[in-house]
């Protein structure tokens, strides 16, 4: 699949929102939307990857897909879990076997929903759990649809509407914010909106109307509105649907190359930050929490220390764990296909 630098630029935007939110700027910085943007990107890329494979080979090799996903994601998160757990045990004498298990087996979202003890800083792994659940189901659903774009597209639309209805039912029955915000069954639609755009762009759907300025400006206005409205029912139900729907034309516009936005997203700093975003997502929160516990209240010095240590651990993770294991996964899956 052709590499698109602007997508890494969008990852940079998403990870920046998440980090600054965790640095206690969550009022002006919508960190939750950064996660929603990550979801959208994942849905878009995975769908394009699978559809491209089908176009080139006439099939979707699910075994190969799982090998590459495993090697791409699991090693870095396992190293982080082991490193952080060991540090907390040795320095702070804190550990939680149940929390570690939930983190390793991609169940951190439901662990938190059920009120699990958060002795370790693995909270942000809830979003990785949702993405992993998506990976476990989506390729099979795509194959079962026999790669018929219109049928699968309509099926995804039905699912996204069903998720919205389900959120309404839960909220009207006094479900917790954690239940609607972190559960796979209530947030999977944020990934599916990206999949819908990928299907539309690769299957020849007529979507160039989304590049018109009135559509782009209208989508941006809707997106901004979701940050302003504070009503509980709105925020825990239709907010995610509006954000996902608004991201479809905005994402398409950002990748179209028709605006200065694309050039900005493709600048080397933005692209590099996007490439580092996975390892940075894994390490920044444990670093923030550990430094706060050891050094106490926030200050300019501790803020700088958090950023420097996060950057250092991110680079170690990316260059010595994430990238080598990803290349190994590619080699292994390719050789498996030839045997």
pLDDT digits (tens, 9 = 90+) for 237-281: 999 999 999 999 999 999 987 778 899 999 999 999 999 999 999
Please name which of 128, 127, 108 lies closest in space to residue 118, comparing C-alpha atoms.
108
Task: For the chain, give percent helix, strand, coil, nearest 5.
Answer: 80, 0, 20
- In angstroms, the CA 128 to CA 164 distance is 21
Which helix (H) or strand (E) is 169 found in, with range? helix 149-172
Please name which of 187, 298, 281 lies closest in space to residue 240, comparing C-alpha atoms.
187
Q: How much is the pLDDT for 13?
A: 97
Minimum mean pLDDT range among 6-15, 142-151, 313-322 = 142-151
Helix (H, G, I), strand (E, B) or coil at 298: coil
Q: How much is the pLDDT for 215?
A: 96
Yes or no: say if 31 and 18 are a contact pair by the CB < 8 Å rule. yes
Q: How much is the pLDDT for 339?
A: 38
Q: Which residue has the higher pLDDT, 147 or 21?
A: 21
User: What are the b/e assignments for 150-178, b being 16+ CB within 10 Å?
Assistant: eebbebbeeebeebbebbeebbeeebeee
Most confident of 146-160, 177-191, 295-309, 323-337: 177-191
Q: How much is the pLDDT for 25?
A: 63
Q: How much is the pLDDT for 145?
A: 84
% of the chain exceeding 70 in pLDDT: 96
Whether the pLDDT of residue 10 is over 70: the answer is yes
Whether the pLDDT of residue 334 is over 70: the answer is no
Whether the pLDDT of residue 107 is over 80: the answer is yes
- Residues contacting 297, CB < 8 A, separation 6+: none
Compute CA distances 209 → 9, 69, 214, whole Å. 24, 34, 10
Q: How much is the pLDDT for 147?
A: 72
- In angstroms, the CA 329 to CA 144 distance is 26
- Assigned token pair, 148: 């018929």
Per-residue pLDDT band for 27 (boundaries 50, 70, 90) equals low
Helix (H, G, I), strand (E, B) or coil at 119: coil
- In angstroms, the CA 265 to CA 4 distance is 10
Whether the pLDDT of residue 338 is over 70: the answer is no
Q: How much is the pLDDT for 89?
A: 96
Whether the pLDDT of residue 103 is over 90: the answer is yes
Tell me the pLDDT of the chain averaged across its residues. 93
Q: How much is the pLDDT for 52?
A: 92
- Assigned token pair, 204: 């020849």
Helix (H, G, I), strand (E, B) or coil at 257: coil
Helix (H, G, I), strand (E, B) or coil at 334: helix
């Amino acid at each position: 699949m052709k590499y698109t630098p602007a997508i890494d630029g969008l990852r940079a935007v998403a990870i920046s929102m998440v980090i600054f939110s965790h640095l206690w700027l969550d009022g002006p910085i919508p960190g939750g939307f950064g996660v929603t943007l990550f979801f959208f990107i994942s849905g878009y890329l995975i769908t394009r990857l699978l559809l491209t494979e089908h176009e080139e080979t006439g099939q979707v090799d699910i075994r190969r897909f799982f090998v590459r996903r495993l090697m791409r994601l699991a090693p870095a998160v396992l190293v982080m879990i082991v490193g952080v757990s060991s540090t907390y045990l040795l320095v702070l004498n804190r550990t939680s076997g149940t929390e570690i298990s939930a983190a390793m087996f991609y169940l951190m979202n439901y662990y938190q929903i059920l009120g699990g003890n958060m002795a370790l800083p693995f909270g942000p792994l809830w979003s990785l759990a949702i993405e992993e659940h998506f990976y476990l189901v989506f390729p099979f659903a795509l194959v079962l649809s026999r790669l018929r774009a219109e049928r699968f597209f309509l099926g995804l639309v039905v699912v996204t509407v069903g998720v919205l209805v389900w959120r309404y039912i839960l909220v009207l029955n006094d479900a917790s914010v954690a239940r609607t915000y972190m559960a796979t069954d209530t947030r999977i639609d944020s990934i599916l909106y990206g999949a819908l755009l990928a299907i539309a762009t690769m299957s020849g759907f007529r979507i160039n109307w989304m590049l018109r300025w009135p559509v782009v400006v209208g989508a941006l206005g809707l997106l901004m509105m979701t940050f302003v409205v504070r009503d509980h029912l709105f925020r825990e139900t239709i907010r995610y649907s509006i954000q996902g729907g608004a991201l479809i034309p905005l994402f398409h516009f950002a990748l179209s190359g028709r605006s200065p936005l694309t050039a900005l997203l493709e600048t080397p700093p933005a692209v590099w930050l996007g490439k580092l975003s996975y390892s940075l997502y894994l390490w920044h929160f444990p670093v923030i929490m550990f430094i706060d516990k050891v050094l106490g209240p926030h200050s300019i010095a501790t803020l700088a220390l958090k950023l420097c240590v996060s950057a250092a651990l991110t680079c170690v993770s990316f260059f010595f764990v994430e990238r080598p294991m990803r290349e190994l996964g590619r080699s292994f899956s390719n050789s498996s296909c030839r045997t």
